[in-house]
Amino acid sequence: MKKSILLIALFFAANVSFGQIDFKQGSVSDILAMAKAQNKIVMVDVMTDWCKWCIELDNKVYAKAEVYEFANTNQINYKIDAEKGEGPDFAKKYKIEGYPSVLFLDGDGNEIDRIYGYVPVKEFKEMIVDYNKGINTFGYLKDEVAKNPDNVEASLKLSDKYAMYGDKDKAKELLNNIIDIDPSNAKGKTDDAKFRLAVFSEKEQKIKDIQAFIKENPGSDQLKDAYIAVSEAYYYDMDDVPNSEKWFKETLSLYPNDDMVNSSYGQYLNQRALFYSDKGTSNEDYKKGLSFIDAALPYVSGSVNEASAYYIQSKLYYNLKDYSPAMESIDKALKIFNRKLYRDHKEKIEKQLSSK
């Protein structure tokens, strides 16, 4: 037994580093064996090479000392591409539906919990510390709420878990229970519950419910998220550009220089530009798209969405048959995110330039 543990340790002496986290190499079974031998949990970052938020997680979370120092000391860390090697079977087994999905497993491969999507540094660190302690996991919270149904903090966290796993009905049941238990919001979680319920609504009703929440809860710590949600819902759910623009402008005025607000507005401007690059039919359309990219770049600077902006900008120049600036833009995108989609687009530009 000691010999096998030693061999495993030697095998993992060579590793691949993304950011500063020590992501081990090997098969899934090798990783689980290592975790079991060291009595640690495994953090599995399930990603794809086209997932821009996976890159953002690498650059803005894994590269932070407070995260990688804890992760490297307390757990086994592993990356798996959901579209390569063991990845498709792994993704199917654990029902992965979006990327990034960060799973936490015990040495037998049983899921402890997961983090879905991009989560900022502070929240990510808090979650991995909790999961290593065995607290605030899905199972832990279910037991806690079963023992104490009036624990509104645990109920709110558990509702978020159910929502993450796709069980909105159970999430809504818990949220409504919080409102019934504490209608005056004495424990400070009822407004959170009301906002989450509003977000669960669909299309027009969703907008109405969130706007009602904003009006009725002016002091809520969920207010910024509510303003962002209305701004996005008008555009993505209703295709209502004038109202989306109006709400984004109000949100920007209320929360100037806020990273979340800037990111949301920058993505919105990128999408406006993408419409003209993909659906435009004239040079005038393509030039309109370029104006949206010019507006987006200050808001997406320093994020992976900056790569998206340069890619869309390159497409617009390509449509205008202006191939030299198209090449400059795609090179900027590739410098941020070396994505196959971008490489393929660069090849198209190179062919046009070489034919001149």
Q: Are residues 11 and 95 in the same domain?
A: yes
Is residue 37 domain-shared with residue 112, that is, in the same domain?
yes
For the segment 21-65, what is each residue's pLDDT rounded down to a tens digit? 999 999 999 999 999 999 999 999 999 999 989 999 999 999 999
Distance between CA atoms of 309 and 294, rounded to whole angstroms? 9
| Shared domain check, 128 and 6 | yes
Query: What DSSP state is assigned to residue 282?
Result: S
Instruction: Kindly state whether residues 168 and 238 are assigned to the same domain.
Output: no
Domain boundary, last residue among 144, 177, 194: 194
- Model pLDDT for residues 219-278, shown as the tens digit of each residue: 999 999 999 999 999 999 999 999 999 999 999 999 999 999 999 999 999 999 999 999
CA–CA gap between residue 265 and residue 252 (Å, rounded): 8
- At 17, which CATH number? 3.40.30.10
Same domain, 116 and 157: no
> Which distant-in-sequence residues (6+ apart) come within 8 Å of 250 by Cβ?
227
Kindly state whether residues 45 and 96 are assigned to the same domain.
yes
What local confidence, expressed as pLDDT, does residue 89 receive?
97
238 contacts: CB under 8 Å, gap ≥ 6: 203, 204, 207, 244
Same domain, 22 and 35: yes
Distance of alpha carbon 57 from its chain centroid, rounded? 8
pLDDT digits (tens, 9 = 90+) for 161-177: 999 999 999 999 999 99
Residue 256, Cβ density class (10 Å: 0-12 exposed, 13-18 middle, ≥19 buried): exposed
Contact 74, 122 (CB under 8 A): no
How many CB atoms are closer than 10 A to CB 173? 13
Tokens of residue 219, six digits: 């002091």
* Domain encompassing residue 57: 2-132
**Whether 104 and 7 share a structural domain:** yes
Q: Examine the domain organization and report whether 186 and 304 are in the same domain.
A: no
- What pLDDT is stored for residue 6 in this prediction? 37
Whether residue 149 sits in one domain with residue 221 = no
Helices (H), the chain: 2-11, 28-38, 52-57, 65-74, 87-93, 121-133, 138-147, 152-164, 168-181, 190-200, 203-216, 223-232, 241-254, 259-279, 283-300, 304-319, 323-336, 340-354
Q: Are residues 227 and 287 in the same domain?
A: no
**Which H or E run includes 43?**
strand 41-47
Same domain assignment for residues 218 and 338? no
pLDDT of residue 18 exceeding 60, the answer is no
pLDDT band at 185 (very low <50, low <70, confident <90, very high): very high
Boundary (domain end) residue, out of 132, 152, 169: 132
Q: pLDDT tens-digit profile of 303-327?
A: 999 999 999 999 999 999 999 999 9
What pLDDT sits at residue 20?
Answer: 86
Q: Which of 104, 132, 160 is the endpoint of a domain?
A: 132
Q: Residue 135: exposed, middle, or buried by beta-carbon count in 10 A (0-12, 13-18, 19+)?
A: exposed
Neighbouring residues of 295: CB distance < 8 A, sequence distance ≥ 6: 269
CATH of the domain at 172: 1.25.40.10
The closest alpha carbon to 95, from 77, 108, 78, 114, belongs to: 114
Question: What does the pLDDT look like over 131-144, one tens digit per residue?
Answer: 999 999 999 999 99
State the pLDDT at residue 10: 34
* Domains held by the chain: number: 4
